[in-house]
Structure 1
Amino acid sequence: MALLPNPIVLQRADPYVLRTDDGYLFTGSYPLYDRITLRRADRLSGLQAAEEHTIWRKHDSGSGEMSELIWAPEIHRVDGQWVIYFAAAPTTEIDQQADTFQHRVFCLTCDDADPITGTWTERGKVDTGMDTFALDATTFVYTDGRQYLIWAQQDLAIEGHSNLYIARMANPWTLETEPVMLSKPELDWEKIRFIVEEGPAVLKYDDRIFVTFSASGTGPEYAMGMLTASADADLLDPASWTKSPEPVFTSDETVRQFGPGHNSFTKTDDGRDVLIYHCRNYVEILGDPLFDPNRHAYMGLIEWAEDGTPRFGTPQMATRFTPATTDVLPSDGRLNVDESL
């Protein structure tokens, strides 16, 4: 089997890819955490070489909201409007009570045809009704034609740094319903180094809807979990969702890929489902892991079991040079790479 051309973008954690009529749009956490960028390419393998455009920068340091640590932007198309969700903090200091940074979820919108050259409008903070650490918002439009938001947020009454919540939206920056907690870290594999569920992503297939998420610390223990609901269920009812007891995507030391997660989903031109995720290719991190830039964006093809469950396989080996690489490559140096992607 041919290998995929990976990584698709170097030094971009929390990758998000949106397939459009004009190609693939890519965004992710910029290593300086000070801006939101977009790049576009006809193929996933062309995203690394694509020109990167800064479409928004953080406010001046110390000026309040949206002035520090810009994390995990996602770009969506909702009712003909471009929407970006991201997390930002007013400071780089830790909230001592919560033992977390002070992030909240924010929204930008653009009404122009091209999100790269268009004008973006700040819609401010998405008020979730809880004034606590919040991040990693994603959105989807359900079969009822309504927009839903899923995100990670801390509840100080629950052990851990963040749980997963869902709400229906009145518009892209305003909740219509009260937040409902879908899941919290309670399994052993979700509580290694950090007690956290974050980075939700939505995948729909046949008569079911899947929400993947990432859990534990951001080292090799970082892994993906999954929630499943029927497509005709009440998505705002926690009883509609079932959590897989084991992680569905984990580190693979045999190909030197560690801490896969914070994923998104897209499709190939011929309709195959693609997993987009980040990984590191080493475990010995010098200094603060938050500022280690070498989480690269990768892709993997999803297979579907007969029962309609996604099979994510294992992380792909690197087929392109990566900084500080220790990847295991064939001894003759030749790789059978599927460049069609």
Structure 2
Amino acid sequence: MKFNNPIISQRADPQVYLHDDGYYYFTASVPEYDRIELRRAKTLKGLADPESIITAWQKPDEGPYSELIWAPEIHLVQGRWMIYFAAAPSREIKDDLFQHRMYAIENLSSDPMTPEWTFAGQVDSGIDAFCLDATVFHHQEKDYYIWAQKDPKIAGNSNLYIAEMATPIQLKLPGTLLTVPEFEWETRGFMVNEGPYLLQSHGKVWLTYSASATDENYCMGMLWADESSDLLVADNWHKSPVPVFRTNWPAKVYGPGHSSFTKDEQGNDVLVYHARDYTEIEGDPLWDPNRHTRMKSFTWKDGMPDFGNAE
């Protein structure tokens, strides 16, 4: 399927969740960072002008999760609709980092588009430091949670961790460290591994993530493990030494990343991501609203995903 990109303007950190009701559910960071928006449609292209769109949750005026609502993701976990997100008590930067922690809202009805979302609580990572970008997945009868985390003992902004889930908001700790920013392409501007998302196919569990600063240096890395292996053992994961998706200079698609995966209406694999169409950013890239949601179909080559060029 060919997409007319960008699909949705000014929606960063996009996630598409295809449910067994036949609907595509979409959420992403909004430029104001003040709410969680949820939309759904029967087709991927229909998400641009959806039949239904709601504000699932609005941030409070004050408190530990009252600012900078980032990277929401919707999942059905243990029979409960959950949206995981990160938030901070203020916009203040301390020790060179924002003060985000991870939280969740839940909807106990069968229809996530009903206005019944309520705050479910904080997801404790076991490390009281900057953390964000949680994703969850179900594999071999277990639920797993993967997130980006600052460890004060490790240089850089964030690493990736995995833990099994006891409940939709409680982890079996401690988590396992999967990857730290180590290659040159992961450390441009900032030392970052963030935005993880899972793809299960071809006998393996594939984990993409984003690296470096959120400008044109932003790109995607990838880990993978055999589907039969213990995913909580770091040595069972392999890491690509090169990025698998990056800026396409001729096409003027800059800083593609924060990916998620879905399938189109014909069952083909689709990569969902954000990118900008210019590099001249004034000030901090986080405050530039023009990271747009894009999509592209991808194929497989020699048993590995081949994402091709950003478009």
What TM-score do you get using the length of structure 2 for normalisation? 0.97
- After superposition, give the CA deviation of every residue in 1:276-297 in whole Å (9 maximum; x if it has no partner): 0001000001233211111000
SS of the equivalent of 2:99 reads: coil
Q: Which residue of 2 aligns with 1:138?
A: 135
Q: Which residue of 2 aligns with 1:165?
A: 161
CA contact 1:111–1:118 (8 Å) conserved in 2: no
Which of the numbers 311, 314, 321 marks the counterpart of 2:309?
314
Q: Which residue of 2 aligns with 1:255?
A: 251
Q: Which residue of 2 aligns with 1:300?
A: 296
Q: Which residue of 2 aligns with 1:25?
A: 25
What is the CA–CA distance in structure 1 between the aligned matches of 2:113 and 2:37, rounded to whole Å?
A: 9
What is the CA–CA distance in structure 2 between the aligned matches of 1:58 and 1:121, rounded to whole Å?
A: 11
What is the CA–CA distance in structure 2 between the aligned matches of 1:6 and 1:150, rounded to whole Å?
A: 29
CA contact 1:102–1:132 (8 Å) conserved in 2: yes
- After superposition, give the CA deviation of every residue in 1:230-273 in whole Å (9 maximum; x if it has no partner): 00111000000010000000000111100000010111122111
Q: Which residue of 1 aligns with 2:261?
A: 265
What code does the residue aligned with 2:106 have?
A: T
CA contact 2:2–2:297 (8 Å) conserved in 1: no
1:194-205 matches, cutoff 5 A:
194-205=190-201
1:72-91 matches, cutoff 5 A:
72-91=71-90
How big is the alpha-carbon RMSD for the aligned residues of Structure 1 and Structure 2? 1.1
Q: Which residue of 1 aligns with 2:99?
A: 102
1:151-300 matches, cutoff 5 A:
151-300=147-296
CA contact 2:57–2:118 (8 Å) conserved in 1: no
* 1:228 positional shift: 0.7
What is the CA–CA distance in structure 1 between the aligned matches of 2:107 and 2:22, rounded to whole Å?
A: 16
What code does the residue aligned with 1:159 have?
A: A
What code does the residue aligned with 1:309 have?
A: M
CA contact 1:128–1:175 (8 Å) conserved in 2: yes
SS of the equivalent of 2:250 reads: helix
* 1:202 positional shift: 0.2
CA contact 1:260–1:315 (8 Å) conserved in 2: yes
What is the CA–CA distance in structure 1 between the aligned matches of 2:10 and 2:53, rounded to whole Å?
A: 13
CA contact 2:66–2:90 (8 Å) conserved in 1: yes
* 1:118 positional shift: 4.1
What is the CA–CA distance in structure 1 between the aligned matches of 2:127 and 2:212, rounded to whole Å?
A: 23
Higher strand share: 2
1:46-65 matches, cutoff 5 A:
46-50=46-50, 51-60=52-61, 63-65=62-64
* 1:176 positional shift: 1.8
CA contact 1:8–1:46 (8 Å) conserved in 2: no
Where does structure 2 lack aligned partners over 5 or more consecutive residues? none
Where does structure 1 lack aligned partners over 5 or more consecutive residues? 317-341
What code does the residue aligned with 1:167 have?
A: A
* 1:113 positional shift: 1.5
What code does the residue aligned with 2:110 have?
A: A
Rg: which structure is higher?
A: 1
What is the CA–CA distance in structure 1 between the aligned matches of 2:2 and 2:128, rounded to whole Å?
A: 45
* 1:111 positional shift: 1.3
What code does the residue aligned with 2:132 have?
A: L
* 1:214 positional shift: 0.2
| Identical aligned residues as a percent | 51
What TM-score do you get using the length of structure 1 for normalisation? 0.89
SS of the equivalent of 2:174 reads: coil
Number of equivalenced pairs: 309
Moved over 6 A (4+): none
CA contact 1:6–1:45 (8 Å) conserved in 2: no
What is the CA–CA distance in structure 2 between the aligned matches of 1:286 and 1:175, rounded to whole Å?
A: 39
SS of the equivalent of 1:253 reads: coil
